[in-house]
Amino acid sequence: MVNLLALSGSLRAASINSMLLRAVARLAPCDISVSIFTGLGELPLFNPDLQEHLPASILTYHRAVARADALLIASPEYAHGVTGPIKNALDWLVGLEPFAGKFVGVLNTSPRAHHADDALRETLRTMAAVIVEPASICVPLLGAGLDESGIVATPALADAVRACLRALEHAVTSRREPLTPKFPIQ
Amino acid sequence: MVNLLALSGSLRAASINSMLLRAVARLAPCDISVSIFTGLGELPLFNPDLQEHLPASILTYHRAVARADALLIASPEYAHGVTGPIKNALDWLVGLEPFAGKFVGVLNTSPRAHHADDALRETLRTMAAVIVEPASICVPLLGAGLDESGIVATPALADAVRACLRALEHAVTSRREPLTPKFPIQ
């Protein structure tokens, strides 16, 4: 079983990115668990002074991240930048030991928005996350008029989402394999 | 009198960026007022759903921004990106009518950090702010070991800060001049 934690960078109830992640959870095959972290809106604004006595909301978040085999992030672009809420969530993971080397898929629901996607990837790489490219896809939902069930029922989208999940699973299970030498050694 | 509002992108009590802004306020000539907005840490995480009934903290913030002739932003770089708190603060100004055309100076205390500075400028331009280049300077404080009084007492820094303030003042007062035709018309 592979455990994925999904983070949406928008707190809007009708967020397209949150909707996509709920559809992803429904489309997950039975050997991949996708849980959506719904507490990003309750995190305090990042303040290094709080790190000595972390609030309960941050401890819960850190535990959820530590337990996950990989993360899946879907976040909109606000004013040609990352959203405040997703950057705040990432700021709280900087230097968190279990985050280093974590596999991450970065979903983009808006094909024409590249600033936030680029910035998110730059930050994640700087934080020593491993971006899984086949799991980092553009799912063009902005303006598509689809709801959660519509995504699930659209074969092209459902296939793309399942391939994304399989790519994350592959990254996780490949790392789990013992480091035995393979013959012939090249 | 020109009224400037200063925003620090770090909530850390010992923040170099907040320290710089306090020094800027002390160095301001008597015809330029610099007030530091200290409520960024109390703003909720940006959520478009809250825009119908804005929390009191946001209304206070919006009023302070609307009253200011120009903004001065000093913000660190976290993991090759803007800080969550400063992007959150800017997210709350997207589409705010009095923000369009607002003059902004962007201070950078870390010469080697360009990702956050670039991203901040891109976002501000997208929000229709007017970045005042002579007021957007690098003040190399990271690792300099200076405190607030040290900045004020260092002639090169004090001169640079005063020139930055004068540049913002010049931008504001130039706009205030009535749009009378100048002769000869070229």
- The complex's ipTM works out to 0.93
Mean pLDDT of the B45-53 span: 96
Q: What angle do CA B112, B19, B4 make, to 5 degrees?
A: 100
Q: Is the confidence at residue B186, as pLDDT, over 60?
A: no
Contacts of A37 in chain B (CB under 8 A): none
Mean pLDDT of chain A: 95
Phi-psi region of B101 (alpha: psi -120 to 50; beta: other; left: phi over 0): left
- The predicted pLDDT at position B31 comes to 97
- The predicted pLDDT at position A142 comes to 83
Helix (H, G, I), strand (E, B) or coil at B172: helix
Q: What angle do CA A108, B40, B86 make, to 5 degrees?
A: 35
| Yes or no, beta carbons of B47 and A41 under 8 Å apart | yes
Q: What is the pLDDT of residues B73-123, one digit of tens each?
A: 999 999 999 999 999 999 999 999 999 999 999 999 998 899 999 999 999
- The predicted pLDDT at position A42 comes to 97
Which residue is associated with the tokens 């950057």?
A87
Cross-strand bridge partners of residue A130 = A103
Please state, in angstroms and as integers, the Cα–Cα distance from residue B123 to each residue in A19, A81, A152, B33, B164, following that order. Answer: 26, 6, 34, 26, 21
Question: Nearest by CB to A83, which of B46, B89, B115?
Answer: B46
Question: Nearest by CB to B45, which of A41, A47, A115?
Answer: A41
Q: How far is B18 from chain A (nearest CA, A)?
A: 13
- The predicted pLDDT at position B147 comes to 95
Q: Which amino acid would we find at residue B55?
A: P
What part of B 50-109 touches A (C-beta under 8 Å)? Answer: 78-85, 87-91, 94
Question: Is the pLDDT higher at A61 or at B143?
Answer: A61
Mean pLDDT of the B20-24 span: 98
- The predicted pLDDT at position B101 comes to 97
Helix axes B115-126, A115-126, angle to 10 degrees: 160
- The predicted pLDDT at position A77 comes to 97
Whole-structure pTM value: 0.94
Sheet-wide strand order for A130-131: A32-36, A2-8, A70-74, A103-107, A130-131
Q: Is A128 on the interface with B (CB under 8 A)?
A: no
Task: Count Cβ–Cβ pairs < 8 Å, chain A vs chain B.
Answer: 120
Q: Is B43 on the interface with A (CB under 8 A)?
A: yes
- The predicted pLDDT at position A175 comes to 87
Q: Is the confidence at residue A111, as pLDDT, over 90?
A: no
Question: Is the pLDDT higher at B177 or at A147?
Answer: A147
Q: How far, in Å, CA of B102 to CA of B117, rounded?
A: 18
Q: With residue B170 as reference, give the H or E element that holds it.
A: helix B155-176
Q: What is the pLDDT of residues A112-170, one digit of tens each?
A: 899 999 999 999 999 999 999 999 999 999 888 999 999 999 999 999 999 999 999 99
Q: Where does the pLDDT of residue B29 fall: very low under 50, low under 70, confident under 90, or very high at 90 and above?
A: very high
Question: Nearest by CB to A127, which of B79, B89, B126?
Answer: B79
Q: Is the confidence at residue A178, as pLDDT, over 70?
A: no
**Tokens at A56, concatenated:** 């309960």
**Tokens at B31, concatenated:** 């015809």
**Tokens at A181, concatenated:** 């030498």
Which residue is associated with the tokens 């553009």?
A138
Q: Is the confidence at residue B8, as pLDDT, over 70?
A: yes
Contacts of B81 in chain A (CB under 8 A): 82, 87, 90, 119, 122-123, 126
Alpha-helical (H) ranges within B30-154 are 56-67, 84-91, 115-126, 148-153
Domain B2-176 belongs in CATH node 3.20.20.70: no
Interacting residues of B168 by C-beta distance below 8 A, sequence separation 6+: B2, B4, B32, B69, B70, B72, B103, B105, B132, B135
Q: Where does the pLDDT of residue A40 fall: very low under 50, low under 70, confident under 90, or very high at 90 and above?
A: very high
